[in-house]
Copies of this chain bind each other. A is one copy, B any other.
C-alpha cells in the first residue's frame, strides 16, 4: 500500500511481530522488545512507523497485529531468514549463530545473491518442506546481543 521503504530495523520489528504471532498467537510489546534486545519505548516508536505505513494494527495498550499487507511483507522477510539460516547450517554453522547471522544477512543481500543461495540449498532439500518444518520449529528466545 504505502511504498515508503522499510529500514533494516523496521524489517526486524515487522518480522518479529510475525514470528511471535506464529509462535505464541500474540505479539506483545514486551516480548518484541525482549526478543530483539531493545527496550519497550523503541518498540513503541517502531510500531508508530509501521502503523503509518499500514503494515501493523494495534489497539492502544494491547498486542500488535499485522495487516494483510504487513503479513505479506513479513512472510517474505521470514522466508529469506529461513532460507539463509538453512544455507548457513548446510555450511556447518551452528544453529544459534546461523540464526543470528541470517538475521543480519536477510536485510542486505541482493536478489541475485538470494537466488543463487536458493539454487545452492534447493537440490537436496525441497523448498516447501524446508519452509514448513522451519516455521513449525519456530521458537522465539530472548536476544542477548
Contact = CB atoms under 8 A, between A and B. Distances in A.
A92 B116 CA distance: 6
A5 to B, nearest CB: 13
Interface stretch (A27-35, A41-49, A55-63, A94-102): A94-102
Contacts of A97: 110, 112-113
Interface of A: 88, 91-94, 97-98, 100-101, 104-105, 108-110, 112-113, 116-117, 119-120
Contacts of A112: 93-94, 97
A104 B112 CA distance: 14
A100 B110 contact: yes
Nearest to A120: B91
A117 to B, nearest CB: 7
Given A88-B116, A116-B88, A104 B94 contact: no
